[in-house]
Every structure is written in structure tokens, then in C-alpha cells.
Amino acid sequence: MINEVSTRRQILQLLRTDGNLTAQQLAEKLTITSMGVRRHLMTLERDGLIQMQTQRQPTGRPTFVYGLTEAGFETFPKSYDLLATQVLDVVRATEGDARVAQIFASRMEQLYEQFAPRMNGKNLGERIQELANIQEESGYMARWEKTKGGYLLKEQNCAIYRVACRFQEACQFEIELFRRLLEADIERVEHQVKGDLACTYFIPEKSFRSRTVAKVKNKKRSELSQRAQR
């Protein structure tokens, strides 16, 4: 099993460094049989990490080559979180904490505008399910469950953990975003930044507000957020 995983990793690395390759070219570079490399290619294609493409030739039949998908590229190390924290450190040092809060407030507004339409016509349980879907799509390993008096939303992975460790504003505006999307109260009962294994939120079932009340409260929150951005 270890060798199989190692071989698949080598295939990904070759496609990253050399670009699109045929099964035969990969077999030659790895010094394994074409049948052996095809078995690994099938697994990688099934997992969505590579895709087969048709490459036309000047003469003869087209050739089938393999290349990385976006998910395949994402398997390689990235430093997005390091870059984000460095940029925010510079902002804090030159413009102060208020400017950092302004940046996170702007991000919250963008996310709200993006995801609010997905909540239309949904009750509280459906909204929590949709929020879990949104967070799962963003890499938070989110799930939810019904519990006594309400619901629990759990995120097993914090996709912005390094940023959140240095800038608590990230967590503050995230929970405010959740309140607005759910149109309900929400309490964080576990926090990865504080050493817990997950970020867990409790949403009281009775806190789901009517659309009219929620709109008024969201409008007030939006006005406060806009003031923070000025």
C-alpha cells in the first residue's frame, strides 16, 4: 500500500513538473509497466486529481495524455495562509487594528452577498444544512446534527487556522456571518484556536427569527459593518 501511494505521488509530481504526459511516458519515467501505471492513473482520475485529454497529432490517431486537475494542483504545498498573515501584519503595523477589522468586515459582507441567496425559502434546519454545505465546500469538514433545544454545527478543520490564531477578528466576523445567514442566534461552544479539536456552534431552535425581524436586524448589522469599514 505504501509503495502504491508513493507511486501515485510520483505521478502527480511528474505531471506537475513535466506537464501533460501519456501513460507510456509515465511508465518509462517510473520504470514500471504500462499496465501498472494505468492502474494508478485510474485511481487518480477517480479521485478527481487528474484528467485524460485528447491531443491531436499532425498524422495518425490522436494521443491520450494525462494532466492535473485543479484539485490535483492543490495537493502541492501552498503558503496562502502565511501570505495572508504577513499582509495583515503589515496592515496592523502601518494602519492599526481598526483597519484590520475593516478588512474582515468587508470580507464578511462579500461572503454574505454570495451565500445569502442559497438561504432563500429555507427553515432553520435547512439553513444549517446549507451552511454546513457551504463550509464543507471551503474545506472546513463541516457537519451538523439536531440536539436538545436546537442544532449543533461542527467544523473539524479550520481552513484559515493560522490567520485565525493571529487575528481574532476572523473568528468574530465568521460567527456574525453565520448569524446573518441563519437568521438565528448562535453560540460557539468549542474553538480550535483555543485548543479544542473542532469549532462547534450551538443554534437554539427557538431563536430563528421571522423574516421581517431578521431583515431589520441584518440591516442594522450591515450598517454597523459599513461604519467599521469607513
Fold classification of 2-73 (topology level): Arc Repressor Mutant, subunit A (1.10.10)
DSSP string, 207-218: GPPPHHHHHHHH
Cell of 15: 505531471
- Our measurement of the distance from residue 186's CA atom to the centroid of its chain's CA atoms, rounded to an integer in Å, reads 21
Provide the pLDDT confidence category of residue 212 given band limits of 50, 70 and 90: very low
- Higher pLDDT: 100 or 221? It is 100
- For the chain, what are the domain ranges? 2-73, 80-229
Q: What is the C-alpha to C-alpha distance for residues 115 and 126, in angstroms, rounded to an integer?
A: 14
Q: How far is CA 167 from CA 27, 71, 91, 96, in A?
A: 47, 28, 12, 12
Mean pLDDT, rounded, of the chain: 89
Task: List, for residues 83-142, the tens digit of each pLDDT value.
Answer: 999 999 999 999 999 999 999 999 999 999 999 999 999 999 999 999 999 999 998 999
Task: List, for residues 45-68, the tens digit of each pLDDT value.
Answer: 999 999 999 988 777 788 899 999
Which overall architecture, per CATH, does domain 80-229 show? Answer: Alpha-Beta Complex (3.90)
